[in-house]
Every structure is written in structure tokens, then in C-alpha cells.
Amino acid sequence: MAKSKKMPYSLADSLTILSQLQQMAINEGNLSMALKAEELKCKILLAQDNKEDTDDNEDLTKILVDFINDKQNNDSK
């Protein structure tokens, strides 16, 4: 049986995860991270909106992974 490839996050998955991370940041009083999550949600929506116009937009999964890595790095300091 062939291994299935891991599918990238869907738009809805990305927005849901960012909303959850944003709420966690708000609950912890970390407004800068909450604002960053909001910024990334807007970027994802804008990239999705422009997807039909250009093939040059950022990979949505990369945006999310970079955000999570930044969050983890900031939390460990």
C-alpha cells in the first residue's frame, strides 16, 4: 500500500489554527502575538484572493509554519 502524502493545510484549517493561536495570545496578555496572528490571517486571505491573478504568492502553509515557529521561539525566551 502506497504511503499517502501529507496534505497541506486548507484555507479554513489555517484560519482556524491562527484564530486559536490568537485567542491563546490574548489570554496570555501577549497582544503583539495576537496582532501578528491577525496580520497573518489577513495575508492568507489576501493571498487566496490574489491566487487566481498570480502564481507568485507565498505558500500559505509556510506562512503558518513560520508563525508557529516564531511563537515557539518567543515563548522559549
| pLDDT single digits (tens) 2-46 | 555 666 778 889 899 999 999 999 999 999 999 999 999 999 888
Check whether 73 has a pLDDT greater than 90: no
**Residue 53: per-residue pLDDT:** 60
Longest distance between any two alpha carbons in the chain, whole Å: 48
**pTM, 2 dp:** 0.59
End-to-end CA distance of the chain: 44
CA distance 60 to 49: 12
Residue 35 CA, chain-centre distance (Å), reads: 12
